Every structure is written in C-alpha cells, then in structure tokens.
Chains A and B, each alone.
Chain A
C-alpha cells in the first residue's frame, strides 16, 4: 500500500494541473496585491491588518472582533475558492485518467480497486491539503506585507497568530476534503466535466437557494459548514424565514461539528464511489 500511495502521490504531483494551480494562484496574489498597493496608495488609504482580517472568532477566541465589510478580502478565497479548486483537482485526477484509459493500465498493476482508489484519495488529500496551506500562508503573508507598507500590523498578538495558523490549517484540510468529494463524485458520475460544472452550479446557485428557503437544511450544507470549520465560526440558521427581530438566531452547531459534517460528505461520496468503482466495468 505504501508503494502505491507514493506512486499515486507522485502521479498527482507530476500532473500539469497540480503544477499550474499554485503558480496561477501565486501569480494572481502578486498581481492583485500589487494593484491593491498602488490603488490604496493613490487614494491615500491604509490597511489595518488586524481589522481587515476576516476574524469570525467564536467564543473560544475571546471577544469577537467587529466584522468590517472588507472581511472577505483576505480569507474569502481561502475558505471558498480553494475548496472549488480542490474539487476540480479531485475530479480531473480521476476523470482524465479515465478518459485517456490510464485507469485500465493502472488496474493491471494494482487490480484491487479499493486499494487503488484509497491510495489515490489519501495521496490527493495530502498533496491538496499541503498546497492549500502553503497558498493560504502566501496569501496572508502578502496581506501582511501590504499592511506593513500602507498601514499597520499593530495589534497582532501571538494568540491571533495562533488562531490564524489554525484557520489556515483547517481551511487546508477542508480543501483536502473537497478533493475527496470531487474524486468520489467523479467516480460515480464517470464524467469529470459534468462533476465540476455540477459542483460550481451547486456552490453558486443551489446551496444559496437551499440556504435561503429551506432553513432546517441550510445548517447542514457543505459550503456553509466548510466556511464555519475553516474560520472557526458557528453555524446558525439564516434563511428568508429566520426571524432576526429578536436578535441573532441561536447557534446550531460549532466549527468542529461543521468540520465533521464536511468530512461526512467526503466519506459518503467516497464510499459510494468505492462501491460503484468496484462493480463497474472498466473499458
């Protein structure tokens, strides 16, 4: 199993997508923050690293920090964009090999399909998690440098750094989980393009509709829980039917439960993928 795991990890690392995604994200980060630097400087603005960060600190982290409108400026991509990229990587890792027939070749080397898919899942989870953590760290570092040049980083305590590091690690793990979900769904639907398009539609349309109109379901949806898990925030019902007149609705569950919810999605999709892949003719 170890040899297969190493081989599959190497295979994923050697893929063009695995190489170009970090390059693309880093390039966009550099370009984005360079533009931001010149725009903010031209407007005479400044950045407060602590205030501008997307702290959605929960009760575990002392008093919650006021949420400025710009909160998603820094952590938004980490909690939202990376899972989508990770899903696409999981889908294409299986889909491309299925399309060009390499799965057939690999199964003549490792015929135990459970073992094969498990190695692929574990290798992919490790690679994508590490990649997401690295890119998140780079993203935050860019923000920190920008704030140091055009504002202040004062107030960043060691406790806050700890929270931020945990958020980065959790969001990295969440990305890894979405790799698994992408892999599992693609195995089931047997078409990576359909899986990716379906997922994007789900993220941007269906989950928003469900959250807005089906209050009881909304707290269990994957993207809501991913964001909560990554940033250590709580999940609370928030639909068009929620009564906010009496104050914010009660917390439904915390960030750790949110992480378990997301992990459960991965387990379910992978399990279904295992069963389908084991039974399916590979041709």
Chain B
C-alpha cells in the first residue's frame, strides 16, 4: 500500500531576480504511512517545511523529484485527491471582510456540502457563537481555528497543518493540541509542521526533522530521542567555572546551565556535563578529586528539543560552546 504522504528526492530551487538561485529543498525524503498517525514535520525557519507542503499540495512545482499523496503524483494529479486532503499553509488565509460562516459556506459550496457541515466544523473548533463576525476581526487564535474548520469541512483523510500553533497564547496552544488529538483519534492522518517542539512532542507519534532542505532524521519520537538526544548529567556546585575547567580537562565537555531565576538554591551554579548517565559516578570523582563537592546531581533525559538542536544547530568550534548555547 502506498504511503499517504511521500516525497522522493524532492528538490526545489527558487529563481530570484538578479539571477540568484535559492535552493529550498535539496532532495527531501518524506514518508507518512500510518492512517491516524500524527507526524511532526520539524525544522528551523527557512529549512523548507512550507515549500515541501506547497509541493505536496500542488501549489508549487518541484524542480525535480517526486511528491505523492495517496500514491498520486500531486504535481500533476492533486485534483484527484484534493477531496481527501485538508490543509492550512502558513498563516490562516480567508476572506477578511466575510464572516467566519460566510467563508466556510463559500468553501462548502465548491463541494456542494450541506450547511450542517459548516455547523459541524464550527462546533469542532469551538467558534459557534462568533461565526457571524468578520474574519478580519478575529484574533489570531480564532483565525487559526477557522482555518482548521475550513480544512476539516471536507472531512479529510489527511490533514496538513503548517505551524498551527504560531502566535497562539498558551490557552490557544492547549486547545490546538486537544483539537489535533481529537481529529487524529477519528482516524485522520495529520502532518503538522512546527518549530514548537514541546507541542509536537505532546501530540506526535513520529516526526521528520529537516534542515537546509534535507531530512536529517525521521522516525518515531522515541527512536529520534534515543539516537540523538544525549542524556545530560547536571551537577550543582558553588564553583561552576572551576568545575567546567576541571571536567573539560578530564575530557568531559561541560557548560553552564541556567537555573530558573529566583528558584531555590539560586546561589548554587549548575553545570551540564555531556556524558552518558553511566558516567555520573566519574563526574563526582573528578570533581571531588579537585576539591569540588556537589550540592546536587541529577541525570536528565533529553527531549525532542535537545535532539532537534543537535541535528539542526550549525557546527560550533567546541562542544563546550554548543552546550553553553543550548543550556
């Protein structure tokens, strides 16, 4: 069975005026196969996420490579699967002077959908009650929700969401998370691009991380974390600068770790040591041998964010610098 979403050696080069070509995608490989999966599509700004999504939706032509939805080449045949795909690309886009309901009704009319479908999606995104207001008067969160309502109107098998949590407040982000979960629970496959990694971590089961138009990692979140998220040892000491020197000299890259301001034990400096958890005992020994005694030691499992930064951070001169940046 063909993957629901598939990109093979997908390349896209934008030809700018003044003859400067910009390569947005340099041979992207992407596969989303499981119905009902929530697949995170991660990458820093400018890494090519939106370009890839536009290629998937047939909005832009790839320079080379193939892109398929439900096994259909979407560059030439997206119209065959358009009814199975709901999408939001970048910012929510609707007619600003039309009400929320009018916007949805005009979309529904294209597919001859009954007006009860509009009511259904308004209820799903919790906009019933504000559907008479113009789109232009909506907050960003409401616009996002209306755009999702528009994407859900087709009752799609695949939902593509490009940065759905962009600009949302914490409550809006939580609502978006719940919405994604509830839609996925009904069997809809969701491809969600974002750089809000903690959000992705909470809703996705698998992810693809891209950087400079290329996939740098793909798979289940657990597998990505296991492969790229080193387990850090965190130590607390009243002489953090000296501890970093001693540990670095002993071949254990270390850097400062910020402590939440005003938190308990603010006088104690935290140091992150980039070693496996099994080396925690060696850390204590090296520090103790140098007359540095610990007030705190813990092993911190890495997050998707750690893996992301490891995979997408530009090369730095030393490991200590990198840890210092990410800590």
Contacts and interface: CB of A to CB of B under 8 A. Distances in A.
Contact of B91 (A101, A107, A282): A101
A104 B89 contact: yes
B109 interface: yes
Given A101-B90, A281-B59, A282-B59, A6 B85 contact: no
Given A105-B93, A281-B54, 8 more contacts: A3-B109, A4-B110, A6-B109, A105-B150, A107-B57, A108-B86, A110-B79, A282-B60
A107 B59 contact: yes
Interface size class of B (residues with CB under 8 A): 20 to 34
Interface string A89-121: 000000001001110111111111000000000
Interface in B46-76: 51, 54, 57-61
Interface stretch (B35-43, B96-104, B296-304): B96-104
B107 interface: yes
Interface SS of chain A: helix
Interface string B94-123: 111110001000110111100000000000
Contacts of A35: none
Nearest to A102: B93
Interface stretch (A7-15, A168-176, A260-268): A7-15
A61 B58 CA distance: 55
B173 to A, nearest CB: 23
B67 to A, nearest CB: 13
A101 B150 CA distance: 14
A205 interface: no
Given A11-B95, A100-B93, A283-B54, A110 B110 contact: yes
B307 interface: no
Contacts of A97: 95
Interface of A: 3-4, 6-7, 10-11, 14-16, 97, 100-102, 104-112, 279, 281-283
Given A3-B109, A11-B106, A109 B93 contact: no
Contacts of B147: 105
Nearest to A112: B79
Contacts of B78: 111
Contacts of A106: 110
Nearest to A282: B59
B87 A108 contact: yes
Given A110-B82, A111-B82, A7 B60 contact: no
Contacts of B90: 101
Nearest to A17: B97
Contacts of B61: 279, 281
Contact of B57 (A14, A100, A108, A279): A108
Contacts of B112: 3
A283 B60 contact: yes
B85 A108 contact: yes
Contacts of A281: 54, 59-61
B236 to A, nearest CB: 50
A3 B97 contact: no
Contacts of B106: 7, 10-11, 14
Contacts of A104: 54, 59, 89, 93
A100 B87 contact: no
A104 B54 CA distance: 9
- Of B51, B59, B94, B96, most A-chain CB atoms within 10 Å: B59
Given A100-B93, A100-B96, A102-B93, A283 B109 contact: no
B97 A102 contact: no
Contacts of A279: 61
Contacts of A16: 97
Contact of B111 (A3, A10, A101, A107): A3
Contacts of B79: 110-112
